[in-house]
Structure 1
Amino acid sequence: MKRPACHAAALCIGVAVLALAGCAADHVAGIPRAAHPNSSPVGAPAPACAFNLEDIEDRRETTELGQMGRTRIGGEGFTRWFADAMAAMPGHTHERTTRTVKVTVLKAYIQGLATLKSAHLVVRVQSAREGKASDARIYRGADASMNWANTEAEIQEAFDRALTDLTAQIATDLQASCKG
């Protein structure tokens, strides 16, 4: 019995997908790169609201960053990578200021479904001006993109884009609150 052409094509596609899955790593060692140089909001540069980064507290349930297929994403290097990005936000200074910011990392993970991946960073930010604390705000930086082969580079890029999204939101709100 002759197979229809569509079955043969589906079989070829299935074999190709399995071959690519066989190339995927079993473990990706965290996200060791330095913060992406474009981690600040895009647009006309405005004078940044100066602030001190009081603390970064990691309250995640696990240091692992997730699993995509058979690729486990470890959390090695996450703390330094995240702290470097927070310190690179517009307005951050080591000189004494009247504004302080405390960041609590609540979640950091990536998940995949077939050819899609989604990286998320969830933080709580508490700022204070002259010792008077404002309400804490929750921020989610996210990236949803194609997942080609669970490679370290594409996982890193997804986290970098989620971090860029996150720091842009925080920087925008800090700048707005500085005017008030």
Structure 2
Amino acid sequence: MRLPSLLASLFALSAFAAESPQVSLRPGEGALEVLVDGKVVAAYLTANDVSTPARANETYKPYLRVVDPVDGQAITKGPGGTYTHHRGIFFGWMRVGLEGQKLDLWSMGSGRQVHTGFKQQTAERGLARLVSTIEWSDKKGRLILSEERTLELSPLAALVSCGSIS
């Protein structure tokens, strides 16, 4: 007699799908916010400011900051404090060999990641999709790699994938 339970579950899911939360995007200074039903749930931080050593340290890589929609407080860590390189959801590699160099592209002691633009920014049918282009460079500013990063977020799940690196 599991059929009634299954039918009840499917009915509940279809009712939920009919009233799925509204996902939207809001651009800001150095960030693109993801909102669910008008409340910020995440921000993709893209600033790249080398005007001072402090700002250069705060903005050396783009990352996704996850926010509690109830009180607006960041759930994931930002710059500063212990392990200042730990920032929300980000990509990095600690030991990279390139042309005889040993690069640390995790704590960013050997370079920067610079968000150069968005190929796509959409929010529809309960899904936010961001496709960011990023250039990784060494300390001297030489290009190491170009990345296309795809982030997909929905109220039920979040998936971050690195689409292609060339």
Q: Same fold (TM over 0.5)?
A: no
TM-score by length of 1: 0.37
TM-score by length of 2: 0.39
Between 1 and 2, higher relative CO (CA 8 Å, sep ≥ 6) is seen in 1
More helix by share: 1
**Structure exhibiting the larger radius of gyration computed from Cα positions:** 1
